[in-house]
Structure 1
């Protein structure tokens, strides 16, 4: 029986042990302890571990059995890569918090309060911290104990995933502050910044480690891509309507940044002239307060955009489940993937 909680626990234990080793090495070199301290707070301070869980699930779905040590270490490398992505994303978005704590650049700046340009130091140091997490994700992969063939197929999937994510992030940067009615552009951002990176590629990564053929990879793609899109659409709703105590982030950031989300594209498309004028005045205002944010939320709801996004989430959830019908996956693997899909789509954080 597949145990997602057990996978999360095993991944966290390995992350903690790896970071302990790095902290000890840094101390021996008399390097600043704040580097590993801040990264440890981020990595072990929360997170759903959806990518590591789906990686191990893909391995199991493709018939993986026996010693899961190597696939777990690959899953740990995914989570370290995710840490890199979060650190850099928070710098680009100027996000002050992550997982209910100060984001990495804020935490680093706080270590040097009173120093001239402490904020700039924090942002620059966070870029280096993210780079270090990226390097360590590679180290975890290289020391995972994979065979030559496993390493070759794993890196092929990871190369695609990393490239897709960077382009998705770039598309997001280009669109931020300029939300439009272009629904396809907004969907393209969530596909490459979120869906493929969150679900499709982790599933395929685990599967190829178990020797999955092209047919198996296609099935997991047909399941993982709509699931990842549903996950990201839920994230976009939570970014505006979620509660900080659940999400760990303020629900003002996306509105202040003017994120070009599917939610915003639908609202602008469906709004009347007065509603559109109000949305364009409110969304993207860096000084937006809670009163203005609530006005924006009311408009997003009144235009029918929120209900439309909920329906898109439900449609993609159904599409993911349909991809499992009539496949050659083992029945226990189908049950496992269905349960993971439900947990990813119906959530408050």
Structure 2
């Protein structure tokens, strides 16, 4: 199982577990989020032990998954939504805002654990996925029944536990009741969008819908909404952002979120597994109908390039796709101009996102941080 080990070198003060020491949080949000999550998950694990010691295995798996990696991008965007709307950068209120936005990492965990199961992925961040690890436990113990079924059942429960605890963690933040009430709108919308987007993704794979429209709908709702748009909206709502700023946050967030996913699509085909934590070409093996694939197939059809179209279509959903075949697909994607087209779309979306911030009533220092975050999210390493 995930061992749940993590560093606790960031100090806590003696006012109680989870209180972060420091004058300001702006430059170390991921580290503070990490410690708040570790403390919260520790406390919830104690509850699971109270149910039955065996039930703690779910908590251990979730803790290992959440604390085993990740850039904490969603809480960071939410934090700058908070700061851009005038939220405090230090003190008790800021600490509690961090508690609230840290809950986004549990939503992320739910989405990834379930996504890995639906995609039959074997690794995540260079480690076995949750369903694979539980199946291995079943095998090692010699239990009855199919190990894969046990692994799938356990992964579903770990993902469900992550979502339940995300809601709980949000509402443990001791912020004014009106602030938490305002946060309800983006929180509810985000959860519905990510689940709806996930279904659209599954539907596209099953139906073979390789249209650009469907790919962008999946990007918009499955990824952009809960990666950037709604986290920014959540942070702004907690701080009392007005309609004009919320609108700017959402326009920026939708565009940067889609650009983030398009970069991820490129990394899924061309990325270095040492950097991405997943085998190169897994998106193709899983049959992902990405915008990259949609653009390539459209160009192949318009050019009458049946060989390229057949090559790409045969690669989609082929679990045996090997390195030479992947290289041939990569070459075809480049020659068809699909890679360049996706890069151009990323650049255009980034430009429109930054334009949304230009006229927004946002704190100038927060605007600059969001500009920097846009670059980090869309110009990741290959």
**Under TM normalisation by the shorter chain, which class is it?**
over 0.9
Match among 224, 233, 243 for residue 214 of structure 1: 243
For 1:86, the equivalent position in structure 2 comes to 112
What is the CA distance between 1:337 and its match in structure 2? 1.0
Provide the C-alpha distance between the structure 2 equivalents of 1:3 and 1:142, rounded to a whole number of angstroms. Answer: 21
* 1:185-241, Cα deviation, whole Å (9 max, x unpaired): 111110001111111100010001111011110111121111111101001111111
Q: Which moved more, 1:18-27 or 1:160-169?
A: 18-27
User: What RMSD over aligned residues (CA atoms) do the two structures have, in Å?
Assistant: 1.7
Q: Which moved more, 1:273-282 or 1:47-56?
A: 273-282
Secondary structure in 2 matching 1:52: helix
Provide the C-alpha distance between the structure 2 equivalents of 1:180 and 1:267, rounded to a whole number of angstroms. Answer: 14
What is the CA distance between 1:112 and its match in structure 2? 1.5
What is the CA distance between 1:23 and its match in structure 2? 2.4
For 2:38, the equivalent position in structure 1 comes to 16
Provide the C-alpha distance between the structure 2 equivalents of 1:68 and 1:325, rounded to a whole number of angstroms. Answer: 26
Is the CA contact (8 Å cut-off) linking 1:268 and 1:276 kept in structure 2?
yes
Match among 261, 282, 295 for residue 266 of structure 1: 295
Provide the C-alpha distance between the structure 2 equivalents of 1:220 and 1:18, rounded to a whole number of angstroms. Answer: 29
Structure 1 runs not aligned, ≥5 long: none
For 1:74, the equivalent position in structure 2 comes to 100
Provide the C-alpha distance between the structure 1 equivalents of 2:287 and 2:50, rounded to a whole number of angstroms. Answer: 45
Structure 2 runs not aligned, ≥5 long: 1-22
For 2:20, the equivalent position in structure 1 comes to none
Secondary structure in 2 matching 1:300: helix
Is the CA contact (8 Å cut-off) linking 2:270 and 2:281 kept in structure 1?
no
Secondary structure in 1 matching 2:138: coil
The alignment status of 1:228 with 2:254, answered yes or no, reads no
For 1:288, the equivalent position in structure 2 comes to 321
For 2:381, the equivalent position in structure 1 comes to 348
For 2:189, the equivalent position in structure 1 comes to 160
Equivalent runs, 1:115-194 vs 2, <5 Å? 115=143, 116-176=145-205, 178-194=207-223
Aligned length: 349
Is the CA contact (8 Å cut-off) linking 2:103 and 2:167 kept in structure 1?
yes
Secondary structure in 2 matching 1:288: coil
Match among 55, 60, 73 for residue 37 of structure 1: 60
What is the CA distance between 1:26 and its match in structure 2? 2.7
What is the CA distance between 1:280 and its match in structure 2? 1.2
What is the CA distance between 1:5 and its match in structure 2? 5.2
The alignment status of 1:257 with 2:286, answered yes or no, reads yes
Secondary structure in 1 matching 2:360: coil
TM-score by length of 2: 0.88
Provide the C-alpha distance between the structure 1 equivalents of 2:27 and 2:268, rounded to a whole number of angstroms. Answer: 25
Provide the C-alpha distance between the structure 2 equivalents of 1:83 and 1:4, rounded to a whole number of angstroms. Answer: 24
